[in-house]
Structure 1
Amino acid sequence: MLTNYKNTSTERFLRYVQIDTQSDPNSSSQPSTLKQKDLSKVLVQELIEMGVKDAHLDEFGYVYATIPSNSAKNVPVICFCSHVDTSPDCSGAGVKPIIHPNYQGHDIVLPDDHSQILKLTEHPDLAYQYGNDIITASGTTLLGADNKAGVAEIMDAAYHLVNNPDIAHGTIKILFTPDEEIGRGTAAVDLQKLGADFGYTIDGETLGSLEDETFSADGVKITIHGVSQHPGFAKGRMESALKIAADIVANLPKDSLSPETTEGMEGFIHPVGISGMVETATIEFIIRDFSEEKLHAHEAKLKEIMEGVLANYPHSKAIFEVFEQYRNMKEVLDKTPQVTAYALEAIQRSGIEAKQMSIRGGTDGSRLSFMGLPCPNIFAGEHAFHGKHEWVSVQDMEKATKTIINLCKIWEEKTQ
């Protein structure tokens, strides 16, 4: 167990969430919004003030920092990573964080919109928070626990390591990324400059969770070329691309293969955008599953549906394009089992039951793993993210910080 430990994660978190860092999927700049750098500049200054001398922000919005080794051993270099941006799905401007002390199972009514109520029946993970202090926003914005909880926990751990040199550890790298929420969190990361051997994202949900498996993900774009005619003279001639697109969506399975009908290890086909006119229309999909074989099977199913619909429109055609997005990081992590094993031990050493889990989604760690930095995902304690009911507990953040510190100790201890 850790001694001489003074937690700073809550104080940091309450400050960080008040800085608007929402990313923008419609922007082509890097980072997608300059305001993400507002938090990153604060983080660099705080790291420098605590003695992390090389902390800096690059032009692409990445924060890099190093806590030098204090061990005589040749310990592998490990990195801790979180993202500074918040989701475009809900406003992150003017966040007013509120601490609700000593939760006892009651409804939490958010003060700026009394229709926003956190109920135990709707948020079952609250059942594990009795006696804890719950942090929410005020009801008009998201909170930003995804992923400012992780940012605060990494900063807290760095502060503790710098101020407790008796804790032996190898070289520790810190990486804060922009634009994770729009799928571009690793777009311009410099892994050579980072110089880490293994990594951990601190971006998970449930206390004690260690996620070493993600969806594999592709995007599909169907471009439909119909037949346009003057509507007054269209009988037997017009084949509307919009109607073809609508028919394709309408022919998707109703009781399976969709986000709203799947859970656990089940994948899905999900239309995320449709646009166009009579002559040309497009549908965009995301395809998800845990195995690449099933991913391709879902794509074949979608193509079969498209071709079945087109059979009713003999003069129209469609282009079916597949775009690889990310792959299940487990195939990389299974080659370096100690990365996951040490994380599980660190969680247990922090007095928490470790839970090895899969993510119905992706993380920066998924992409980093395939870029050469094996990188599972450790819990940050965030819940109900991307919406006004987002919450985190003070105690879960403190335990995440302790897990990070214990993980640094374990890597040093295990090195011969």
Structure 2
Amino acid sequence: MATETLDIVIVGAGLSGINTAYRLQKDLPHCTFTILEARDGIGGTWDFWKYPGIRSDSSMSMASTIRSASVTRLTSASWSSDEQRWTILADVSRDGGTVEKKEFKVWWFTIASGHYRYEQAFPVVIPVIERFAGQVVHPQFWDKNIDYAGKQIVIIRSGTTAVTLLPALAETARSVTMLQRSPSHVFSAPQKNRMVRVLSRFMSTRWARAVIWWQRMLVEAVFVKVLLAFPHFSRRFIMTEMRKQLPEGFDVDKHFNPRYNPFEQLLCFCPGGDFFKALHKPSTGVVTDTIETVTETGILLKSGETLEADMIIAATDGESASDAIGQKYVWNGTMLGGVPNSGFISGYTAATWTPGADVRARQLIKVIKHLKKTGATAAASFIKPSERARLPVKPALTLGSTYIVSAYERMPKVAGVGPWRME
């Protein structure tokens, strides 16, 4: 078995992992590192998901970071206090289908693999779905050969995936109905930034991108802070904006007035208001009801209404990939309590996810730089038992989304105070 010695290993070649690698190249150019990726493509979520309308929430411009790639699935990782290193075992797939075992000896271990299982969607019970004679599709496993033109489509759920799918499908489908059990907040965001054209006249592309990035981050930060600080105002503001864009006579209170405040669950954004524009078409609609049963030709609702369909799309979220680490606290959103020389990359939940991942990467690099400056060989976060007994216990992600709530017990914990917090 081959052994490779490196400074750092990053698990996951999605945007978070690639960005972490970029930060390492830029801020720690003398560190050696590699990225382990279990799939045969890079880009993570934005490479894997193929459904119509898919779009990234990232406002970052990525540099060329990955020079070569092979499918490498991590199988185990163990820390040696004597060696002050991690031993990581992985299966490396080569051309021709052969799989080789490989060992990595690394000083620092970073996890940027996200929180979804690629091979498994979040389980949802749809009564007797097997009775349906049409096609049942999950966006997570969308195939480019799926033909939805001219079909009657029902999208089950109302999250970001459904809000993205509806306008894309409505272009060629006979009809598209979004069936939701409860309402959601949807907010229209500008699709293009006019500053790009203006700034490019006065400065280089590099500087224009930097200015625009900071402008986007500042606007988003202020927007999120205001909505979180004034929830009643936020509800009224979002409801007013939705009424402006929805068709006249649309029952906004029934379909887009949820029980929760903005950011208690994910706030769905639709660039350029494409979701609201699509609802002006007579072939699209929103139904707020629960499923009684599935028939051969559609869905029977509790209210007695029937939705005829040729295709049902179950737009549920991915299944959580977290293991049982629910007893550990998170230090500054990056390090699990008691785990040495290791960090994980996650994004924001009350704002765009990916810029938050960049903040976490920078935080980890600060820790690594401090270790190198002081000559220390290891770092870990710890809470004194007396302090731990006084700390509040909250899940690291506090959104009320079903797939997150179901994983609360498996999530690491935060206290919401001091360094023991995520945001």
TM-score over 0.5 for the pair? no
TM-score, normalised relative to structure 2 = 0.29
